[in-house]
Chain A
Amino acid sequence: MRHLTYVAVLAGILAAAIWLEPVLRVGVLRQWRRLLLTVVPVAFAFSIWDIAAFRAGHWRLDPAQTTGVVLPGGLPLDELLFFVVIPVCSVLGFEAVRTMRDRA
């Protein structure tokens, strides 16, 4: 199970933000097309950046704590999930702030 450490951290981040959808009714997941339109290009751009930094030797993942699945192009699956989870949670947080402001 140790190879799921990275994924577990991402799951924790998602859990910390996902409740905003039903509780505050931020309507982010409901706008799933807009969310896709946001997350796909951002994840793509940052994946390229990430691969470049990896190839330059700036960072590496511990094989014992990550899935070990590497996508075509050399991007670890864990990193791709990071670039999906963080944007989704950022949008949830942003819309939550907007929602609270509008209610105030």
Chain B
Amino acid sequence: MTYTVAVGLAVTIALLVDLVTLRTRLVTRRVFWIAYAIVLFFQLISNGILAGREVVRYDPDAILGLRVVYAPVEDVGFGFALVLMTLAVWVRTGARPAPPPAPRPARHRAASSTPPDPDRTEARGT
């Protein structure tokens, strides 16, 4: 498996966690993409320093070879997976500030099917 495939796997899992497992559906929300754009900006700077100064080195045979600010293009996908996974868990854990110790209803989590603090961008159009 190349680094490219490993990153593709991470992105796929992150998307599944967001859309299916936690049902946070962040990738459908404008607030996520604005936040991600900001994170990406800083990632390109910091990753560029790390890759440019060769703090991190990559096996040329494991990557496509296409580089964005010195770093392999794969790292953009890697960062996306890390940020999406993080924010999906963060948003989901916001649903219950103190998880109750009582057992939850088995299998169907009907009560938690709605994402917590739903984004209101559709209604407000901002």
Residues of A within 8 A of B (CB): 5-6, 9-10, 12-13, 16-17, 34-35, 37-39, 41-42, 45-46, 49, 52-53, 56-62, 65-66, 83, 86-87, 89-91, 93-94, 96-98, 101, 104
Contacts and interface: CB of A to CB of B under 8 A. Distances in A.
Interface in B1-26: 1-3, 6, 10
Complex A-B, nearest 5 residue pairs according to Cβ-Cβ distance, in ascending order: A58-B3, A87-B86, A94-B35, A58-B62, A65-B55
A46 B1 contact: no
Contacts of A94: 31-32, 35, 87, 90
A90 B35 contact: yes
A37 B1 CA distance: 31
B3 A42 contact: no
Nearest to B84: A90
Contacts, number: 110
Q: Is the interface of B mostly helix, strand, loop or mixed?
A: helix
Contacts of A37: 89, 93
